[in-house]
């Protein structure tokens, strides 16, 4: 801190000399609303969730729950326990959903961004404004609207298929198509964000780089593969990993479209498209099994925590220089 200050011009020096302690106090004053609200609203609930996960807290034990140690977590790994059959299939689908959704959004966004940055396409700004519309519609409204559009009997998507002579699909009623629908709608709503991010990254690449490669004899494909792509990837990664973590907990994308359904014949608690976040919601509000919900949430915390750590480690986007 001190060295930085001394290298500053005299104005900065005088400023730094005056009331450093006052500034420190002011800093905590400015920070306190954010710190207090984050502590009370994010940190305490997480701690309490961890506590509940080690108890038998449910509707029948609402006033008299007891500490049960690792019992809920042992149940998660015990194949004969009902919690096992709730957790693992849901976990598997959560991972598939988050990975496929994020990759699909990224690659479709990137493909469109590359096409739109073609310098010969003079009207690309118009296309960009049109393609960004799904992002501009609040997710709640578009997801619920998709629920209607994909209705088997009356939905206009089946109407469109009928027009092309394709038989109606039971989009939200069959496990396979319900999962396809969740991914498809997520792609529809999610690619504009990735397109905006990758377009920004493409424009931030100094034009000298591909030019130099071209002079060295690299073809267009090679320039893209070895110059453009790594740069875009580096610039967009700090936003891609949070988006993966976001999809991992994308409650709305599932619950507002399918409600988690169609139901599994073997299991009354979760359906075929339920992800862990919607499972925790149902455990709490529908079945009043707070201990199970909390145990699932704790596993989610651990997974999301690891992802965040990787994000911090590899992108360094949130690390602060000491003081500039």
Between 213 and 272, name the residue whose CB sits nearer to another protein. 213
Between 59 and 80, name the residue whose CB sits nearer to another protein. 59
In whole angstroms, how close is the CB of 175 to another protein at the nearest point? 19
- How many CB atoms neighbour CB 42 within 10 A? 9
Between 62 and 77, name the residue whose CB sits nearer to another protein. 62
Q: Is the C-alpha dihedral spanning 289, 251, 43, 95 positive or negative?
A: positive
In whole angstroms, how close is the CB of 46 to another protein at the nearest point? 5
Write out the DSSP string of 81-136.
SHHHHHHHHHHHHHHHHHHHHHHHHHHHHHHHHHHHT-TT-TTHHHHHHHHTHHHH
Beta bridge partners of residue 264, listed in sequence order: 267
In whole angstroms, how close is the CB of 244 to another protein at the nearest point? 11
In whole angstroms, how close is the CB of 3 to another protein at the nearest point? 13
Between 62 and 266, name the residue whose CB sits nearer to another protein. 62
Tokens 């959903």, residue located: 97
Between 227 and 264, name the residue whose CB sits nearer to another protein. 227
d(CA 239, CA 288): 36
Between 266 and 323, name the residue whose CB sits nearer to another protein. 323
Count of H-run helices and E-run strands, the chain? 17, 2
Taking a C-beta distance cutoff of 8 angstroms, is the pair 181, 172 a contact? yes
In whole angstroms, how close is the CB of 12 to another protein at the nearest point? 6
In whole angstroms, how close is the CB of 109 to another protein at the nearest point? 11
In whole angstroms, how close is the CB of 92 to another protein at the nearest point? 19
Q: Which two tokens stand for residue 115?
A: 């096409």
d(CA 272, CA 175): 6
In whole angstroms, how close is the CB of 306 to another protein at the nearest point? 10
**What is the chain's length?**
324
Between 248 and 272, name the residue whose CB sits nearer to another protein. 248
Q: What is the DSSP letter of 76?
A: H
Taking a C-beta distance cutoff of 8 angstroms, is the pair 244, 261 a contact? no
Helix (H, G, I), strand (E, B) or coil at 16: helix
In whole angstroms, how close is the CB of 17 to another protein at the nearest point? 11
Nearest 5 degrees, angle CA 223-CA 224-CA 226? 65
Bridge-based pairing of strands 263-264 and 267-271 is antiparallel
Beta bridge partners of residue 263, listed in sequence order: 271
């Amino acid at each position: 801190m001190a060295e930085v200050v001394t290298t500053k011009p005299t104005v900065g020096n005088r400023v730094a000399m005056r009331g450093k302690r006052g500034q420190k106090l002011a800093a905590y004053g400015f920070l306190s609303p954010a710190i207090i609200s984050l502590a009370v609203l994010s940190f305490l609930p997480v701690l309490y969730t961890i506590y509940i996960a080690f108890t038998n807290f449910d509707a029948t034990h609402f006033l008299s729950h007891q500490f049960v140690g690792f019992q809920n977590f042992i149940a998660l790994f015990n194949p004969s326990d009902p919690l096992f059959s709730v957790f693992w299939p849901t976990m598997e689908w959560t991972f598939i959903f988050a990975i496929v959704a994020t990759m699909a959004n990224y690659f479709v966004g990137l493909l469109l961004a590359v096409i739109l940055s073609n310098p010969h396409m003079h009207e690309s700004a118009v296309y960009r404004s049109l393609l960004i519309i799904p992002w501009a519609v609040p997710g709640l409204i578009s997801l619920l609207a998709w629920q209607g559009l994909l209705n088997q009997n009356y939905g206009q998507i089946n109407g469109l298929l009928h027009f092309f002579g394709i038989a109606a699909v039971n989009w939200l009623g069959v496990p396979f198509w319900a999962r396809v629908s969740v991914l498809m709608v997520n792609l529809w709503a999610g690619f504009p964000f990735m397109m905006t991010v990758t377009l920004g990254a493409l424009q931030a690449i100094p034009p000298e780089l591909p030019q130099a490669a071209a002079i060295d004899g690299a073809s267009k494909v090679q320039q893209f593969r070895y110059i453009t792509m790594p740069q875009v990837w580096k610039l967009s990664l700090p936003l891609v990993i949070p988006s993966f973590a976001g999809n991992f907990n994308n409650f709305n994308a599932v619950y507002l479209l399918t409600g988690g359904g169609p139901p599994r014949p073997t299991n009354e608690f979760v359906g075929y498209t339920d992800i862990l976040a919607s499972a925790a919601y149902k455990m709490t509000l529908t079945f009043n099994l707070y201990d199970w919900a909390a145990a699932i949430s704790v596993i989610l915390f651990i997974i999301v925590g690891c992802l965040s750590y990787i994000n911090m480690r590899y992108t360094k986007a949130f690390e602060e220089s000491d003081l500039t």
